[in-house]
Structure 1
Amino acid sequence: MGGDAVAAVAAFEELLTDFIRVLGPDHPHTFTTRANAAHWRAEAGDSVAAVAAFEELLTDRLRVLGPDHPDTLTTRSNAAYWRGVGGDAVGAVAAFEELLTDQLRVLGPDHPDTLTTRANAASWRGRAGGAVAAVAAFEELLTDQLRVLGPDHPGTLTTRANAASWRGRAGDAIGAVAALEPLLIDRLRVLGPDHPQTLTTRGNAANWRGVAGDATGAAAALEQLLTDQLRVLGPDHLHTHNTRNNLAYWRRKAGDAAGQYVAGEIHTSPVAEEVPLPAHDLA
C-alpha cells in the first residue's frame, strides 16, 4: 500500500476519540477503527505496538462478540501476522496453528480465511527454520486450493510461488526452478507480462537458476527483467534495485568482474517469497 502510514495512524486515532465519545467503546465502528489504527501502526514500522494494540482489541472483541465471531478470528490473525513481522516467527506459528484449529471448527476447511491461515502458518514455519515442513504444508494447501479455488486463482498461484521458494530454501534449487518456470507461464497467461507478481516470478526463477549453478543464465534472465522493470516500475522502485543488485552478483559469479560494478552492489538473496496477508478490517 502506498501513502503516509504515520499520517493514517494519527487520523485513525483522532477518529477513534470521536467514535468512543459518540458511539461508545464497544460499537463495531469503534472496534474497526482500533483495528485500522493498529494496522497502519504496523505499516509505519512499529509492529510491536501494533501487536499490543491487536491483543487489547482481541480482549474486547472476545468480551463483546465472543470467540467464534469472524471479527474476533480476524483480530487473532492480525496479531499473529504482525508478531511474526516483529521477529517472533515461532510465536506466529503457534498463534496461527491455534487459530487454524478454531477456524476449521467454525468456518470449515474450505473457507478462504481458513486457507489463508494455513498459508500464513506454513510461511512462518519456514521463517522459524522449518523450510522442509513449509514445503510440505504449501504443497498440501495447494492440493486443496486447486480443488476449492481452481488453478488460476491468485491464492493458488501464490501458494505455488511459496512452495517453490521454500523448496529452494530447503536446498533444492533445481526443484525451485522447475516449479517457477511453469508458474511463470501461467502468470503470463492469467496476469500478463507487466503484473508485479509476474515480474517477481521472473526474478525468483532467475535467482534460483543461479543458485542451481547457472550463473550465466541467471544474469541473462535478470538483464531482460531489469529492462522491463525499468519500463514498468521505474528506476527507483525497490524491486528494480533488487534486480540490479542480483544482476551484479550473478555477473560476478559468471566471471564478468566489470559488469558487477555497472549493475550495482552484490546482493545474494533471491527475492523473498510471497507472504499471504492476513485478513483485516480496512474499509
Structure 2
Amino acid sequence: MTPWTQSSSSNLAVAYEKVGDLARAIPLHEVTLVNYQRVLGPDHPDTLASRSNLADAYESAGDLGRAIPLYKQTLAERERVLGADHPDTLTSRNNVAHAYQSAGDLGRAIPLHEATLAGRERVLGADHLSTLTSRNNLAAAYQAAGDLSRAISLTEQALTDCVRVLGPDHPRTLTSRNNLAAAYRTAGDLGRAIPLYEATLADCERVLSTDHPLTKTVRSNLAALEKRTT
C-alpha cells in the first residue's frame, strides 16, 4: 500500500467518524495505523497522526479504556520525536486532558489543560484559535471541579478574547457565550445567566439557523433554566 493510498484510507476513516459512522471508522483507522507503521515507521508524523485519529475515534465511541492509553502513547512519542512545544504535541496534550476529563479524572485533566494553555500561549500566541480553545477547555474543567471563581473569570476572559479576535457572531464566540451563561447558572447567578442565554439564543438563530446544533443546545439550556424558575 502506497503512502497516497494510506492517506486516502485515513481521510475516509475521518469522514466516517465525522458523520457518526464509528462502526466503519474505527476498523479503518486501525488498519490505516498498522499500514503506516509498516510502511513509514512508528515515528513518522503521519503515523503519529494516525494513532491520534484512532484514539479520537475510540473516545467518540465512549471507549476511554482504549482511547486514553493511545492518547498518552501518542503524546509521549510526539514529545520525543517533535519536541514538547511542537503544535502537534500541544494538541496531543490537549487530547489527553480532554479524555481524562471525560473519564471524570479532573485531578489529572486540569494540570494538563493548564500546561496546554501555557504552551499554546507561549508558542502560538494568546490570540491563536487553539489557544482560545484551550482557554475555554480549562474554564470548563474548573467548572466541573466546582472551582467557579476561576471558571467564571476564565470564561469571561475567553469570551472577551473571542469577540475581539473572531467577532461577536463567530460560532466559537457564540459557544463561549453559552459557556459563560452555564457558568453563571452553576454559580446560581440567574440574573446574569438568563439574559445571556436569551441573547445568545437570538444570535444563534440569526447567524446559524433555528435548527443548528448549537442553537438547539442554547434553547434547551434556556428552557431548562426557565422551568426551574417557574
Same-fold status (TM-score > 0.5): yes
Q: Which residue of 2 aligns with 1:176?
A: 193
Out of 148, 156, 172, the residue aligned to residue 155 of structure 1 is: 172
Could you tell me how far 1:87 is from its partner in structure 2?
1.2
1:68-126 CA-to-partner distances (Å, cap 9, x unmatched) read: 11111111111110110011123211111011111111111001111100000000110
Q: Which residue of 2 aligns with 1:109?
A: 126
Q: Which residue of 2 aligns with 1:130?
A: 147
Mapped to 2, the partners of 1:67 and 1:121 lie a distance apart of 19
| 2:215 paired with 1:198 | yes
Could you tell me how far 1:203 is from its partner in structure 2?
1.6
Could you tell me how far 1:2 is from its partner in structure 2?
3.7
| 2:47 paired with 1:30 | yes
Mapped to 1, the partners of 2:102 and 2:82 lie a distance apart of 27
| 2:142 paired with 1:87 | no
Out of 199, 204, 210, the residue aligned to residue 227 of structure 2 is: 210
Aligned residues of 1:12 and 1:37 also touching (Cα < 8 A):
yes
* Partner amino acid, structure 2, of 1:76: R
Q: Say which structure, 1 or 2, has more relative contact order (CA 8 Å, 6+ apart).
A: 1
Structure 2 residue runs of 5 or longer lacking an equivalent are: 1-17
CA pair 70-127 structure 1, distance change in 2 beyond 3 A:
same
What secondary structure does 1:192 align onto?
Answer: coil
Identity %: 44
TM-score between the two structures when normalised by the length of structure 1: 0.72
Mapped to 1, the partners of 2:218 and 2:181 lie a distance apart of 10
Aligned residues of 1:132 and 1:167 also touching (Cα < 8 A):
no
* Partner amino acid, structure 2, of 1:140: Q
Q: Which residue of 2 aligns with 1:60?
A: 77
Mapped to 2, the partners of 1:3 and 1:154 lie a distance apart of 21
Aligned residues of 1:164 and 1:176 also touching (Cα < 8 A):
yes
Q: How many residue pairs were aligned?
A: 213
Structure whose alpha-carbon radius of gyration is higher = 1
Aligned residues of 1:173 and 1:209 also touching (Cα < 8 A):
no
Could you tell me how far 1:7 is from its partner in structure 2?
3.9
Q: Which residue of 2 aligns with 1:119?
A: 136
Structure 1 residue runs of 5 or longer lacking an equivalent are: 215-283
TM-score between the two structures when normalised by the length of structure 2: 0.88
The structure with more helix, counted as a fraction of residues: 2
Out of 33, 46, 61, the residue aligned to residue 16 of structure 1 is: 33
Could you tell me how far 1:6 is from its partner in structure 2?
4.5
